[in-house]
Structure 1
Amino acid sequence: MIRVLIADDHPIVRTGLRAVFEGEPSIEIVGEVGRAEDAVARVDAQADGIDVVTMDLRFGAGMSGAEATRAVRRREDAPAVLVLTNYDNDVDILEAIEAGASGYLLKDAPPADLISAVQDAAAGRTVLAPVVANRLQERRRRPEVALTPREHDVLALVAEGLTNDQISQRLYLSKPTVKSHLAHIYGKLDVSSRTAALARARDLGLLR
């Protein structure tokens, strides 16, 4: 029996996933949570012997799905993490994979594909949606600068003209964290100022 924890901040999505998985005899839903932090806490408790966590990427304020994935996968006896999301951009894909996700599927995948993905993840196999696999192949052929979703958020607010203090308040981040994100952005873009970062990001098409 594959024991699955569902982590998604939308109740309707959780209900839909539960309905899909409960129709498969080899899968048992051991719980569902609406916050990334709660998913990490449930795995840390290990009360349910979780085998696979289905993880959304965006949870609003607080820990992101990628951050939760990284925290979950740090455990020696970590369950597999299968990312189920609506987002298929390069930044999200890379951050999830680098965080240790065993798979990356879009939420509009057919039920049979979702079930197979959980089974593959539980068996230690990697599963990627076709569009995601294609993106990764293209990226290997054409390396690009990759910012994390949070770095994108910070950069977008810089583009709006917000100060570090204002970014801190808008994103509910500490000021040192904002500065750290900016330092990482500067390093990835090989620049040393906000103005240069914005110019370089626009050249690379990183600003949405």
Structure 2
Amino acid sequence: MTPPAGDRDPAHTPVRPVRVLLCDDHAVVRAGLLALLSSAHGIEVIGEAGDGEEAVALAAALRPDVVLMDLQLGSGIDGIEATRRIAGLPEREAEGAAERDDEREAGRADRRDVEREAGRADGRDVERDAAGRGAAGRGATGRGAPHVLVLTTYDTDADINRAIEAGATGYLLKAERPEELFSAIRAAAAGRSTLSAPVAHRVLAQMRSPRPGLTDRELDILGQLARGLSNREIARALFISEATVKTHLGRIYDKLGVDTRAGAVSVAKEQRLLP
């Protein structure tokens, strides 16, 4: 006889592992992550992608719970754009994944049906059942877009801001300990955000003393500066006076926290402000 809901032992209730898709353009890195995650309890790698386009396609087809995303992916779209596309995947049923989940949970589903028909499932059982299906099914059954957890070596303000704005759930640096990575993956699967300590520090610093962004005109001048043009040449190219160029340069220096032309170009490249 099936035991009443209140008599079940939670320790013996099967828990579906967190399904992870890896995206990194270096095969050696993917192999290392695969070996590392294979040692983690409750985490299963279901696919690998070597570029952004492949990651988006696999995320749509496999509906993982979490996509572990690098930012620099060689040719094609970068990790930011891949994150944006994955976060924007429409909510739909992924039939293959749904069928696999149905097979794995067939016994439990049948048992719940019998209990409901016999009148033994009370309100608390229904709530626990719905919550469990929602947490376990998000991603794998296509009820929502997969969560993207950025794993990268880049920790500039621009990278962090762009990733978060694109829809990343968390942002980790590759220097993190394995236990921190495992914890972040589980948190991301549950929809909770995780930031590496240096990343969290930068985010807080931005919030406490935000720097104003560059205007379109300042970005134009910065682009000309990166080409090695002099103030006079920039003025001619943009049809403005040389004095106006100097005024804009002073503002650019202040906003980027630099005091030289070379410094402005260097920071602009670091923060990916240049096309």
Unaligned runs of 5+ in 2: 1-16, 92-143, 230-243, 257-263, 267-275
2:74 maps to which of 32, 56, 60: 60
C-alpha distance in structure 1 between counterparts of 2:36 and 2:209, whole Å: 37
Aligned to 2:57: 41
Amino acid at match of 1:34: G
C-alpha distance in structure 2 between counterparts of 1:68 and 1:202, whole Å: 32
SS across alignment from 1:3: strand
Greater CA drift, 126-135 or 194-203? 194-203
Native 8 Å contact 2:226 2:265 kept in 1: no
Shift of 1:108: 1.0
| TM score, norm. by length of structure 2 | 0.57
Does the alignment pair 1:88 with 2:158?
Answer: no
| TM score, norm. by length of structure 1 | 0.74
Amino acid at match of 1:202: Y
C-alpha distance in structure 2 between counterparts of 1:16 and 1:157, whole Å: 39
C-alpha distance in structure 2 between counterparts of 1:98 and 1:133, whole Å: 15
Amino acid at match of 2:181: L
1:207 maps to which of 265, 271, 274: 265
Deviations along 1:153-189, one digit per CA (max 9) or x if unpaired, are x9876433289xxxxxxxxxxxxxxxxxxxxxxxxxx
Give the fraction of aligned pairs with identical amino acids, expressed as a percent: 45
C-alpha distance in structure 2 between counterparts of 1:85 and 1:114, whole Å: 12
Distance 1:135 1:26, change over 3 A: same
Unaligned runs of 5+ in 1: 164-192
Greater CA drift, 100-109 or 193-202? 193-202
2:43 maps to which of 19, 24, 27: 27
Native 8 Å contact 2:63 2:145 kept in 1: no
Distance 1:197 1:58, change over 3 A: farther
Shift of 1:204: 2.3
Greater CA drift, 8-17 or 90-99? 8-17
Shift of 1:17: 1.1
Deviations along 1:82-139, one digit per CA (max 9) or x if unpaired, are 0000001100000001111010000111111111110000011100001111111111
Alignment of 1:109-124 (within 5 A): 109-124=176-191
C-alpha distance in structure 1 between counterparts of 2:47 and 2:245, whole Å: 44
C-alpha distance in structure 2 between counterparts of 1:80 and 1:198, whole Å: 40
Distance 1:91 1:162, change over 3 A: same
Q: CA RMSD in A?
A: 2.5
The aligned length equals 172
Shift of 1:59: 1.3
Structure with max Cα Rg: 2
